Amino acid sequence: MDIEQSADACGGLAWISQRLFEVEGRLATDLDDGKPLDDRARLLLARSSRRHGQHAQWWRAALPDSPALAGAERVRPPTDAWVRLLAHLEGAAPTEALAAIYEVALPQLAFVIEHLGQELLPVSDGAVIRIARMVAADLAEEQYDSREVWNTPSVPSDDGLEELASGFADDYREKRWPPLVTLPR
């Protein structure tokens, strides 16, 4: 992976992390939205939101600071599937948003980070490798802790989530993200 591809990956991951920080933070503190979430779910979302905020800072710090590479401009939606998913989270009722987070967003994010790590080289991508490992550990812990709060089924709970999840299949075809990550078939 060259420096531009690495920058695109870090920028996309910064965008995802920032958006998850915002959405989960809102869900953790929003008490007036229809059926409110229980305290355990709100606590999990509050902790997760803070972590995603930290992850966004780490990914931004990994962006190149060369004006020629325009690192800050690379913080943008990585794919249409991520845009659709985050838009869904913004407009969904709290319980529907919680389902989308734990059934679609976090598994997809963990998948991307796992496969990104396989494309990085220790000599040139050491900082990004460390960030990816820390983020992966946080995601694994969150998915584990969520089992007490949210019993995640292996298939999304409704047709809308299944459609959102299947939208990521295009990310893993010819125009993949992160750039040039070769995924096993």
What are the extents of the domains in the chain?
Answer: 3-172
Summarised one tens digit per residue, pLDDT across range 66-103 is 877 777 888 999 888 999 999 999 988 888 898 899 98
pTM here is: 0.86
C-alpha span between 96 and 103 (Å, rounded): 10
Which pLDDT does position 185 carry in this prediction? 47
Which pLDDT does position 152 carry in this prediction? 53
Secondary structure (H, E, C), the chain: CCHHHHHHHHHHHHHHHHHHHHHHHHHHHCCCCCCCCCHHHHHHHHHHHHHHHHHHHHHHHCCCCCCCCCHHHHCCCCCHHHHHHHHHHHHCCHHHHHHHHHHHHHHHHHHHHHHHHCCCCHHHHHHHHHHHHHHHHHHHHHHHHHHHHCCCCCCCCCHHHHHHHHHHHHHHCCCCCCCCCCCCC
Q: Which class is 3-172 in CATH? A: mainly alpha
Under 8 Å between Cβ of 139 and 106: yes
At 177, is the pLDDT very low, low, confident or very high (cuts 50, 70, 90)?
low
Q: Give the CA-trace dihedral at 78, 1, 113, 57, to 10 degrees.
A: -70
The average pLDDT across 21-26 equals: 95
Which pLDDT does position 14 carry in this prediction? 96
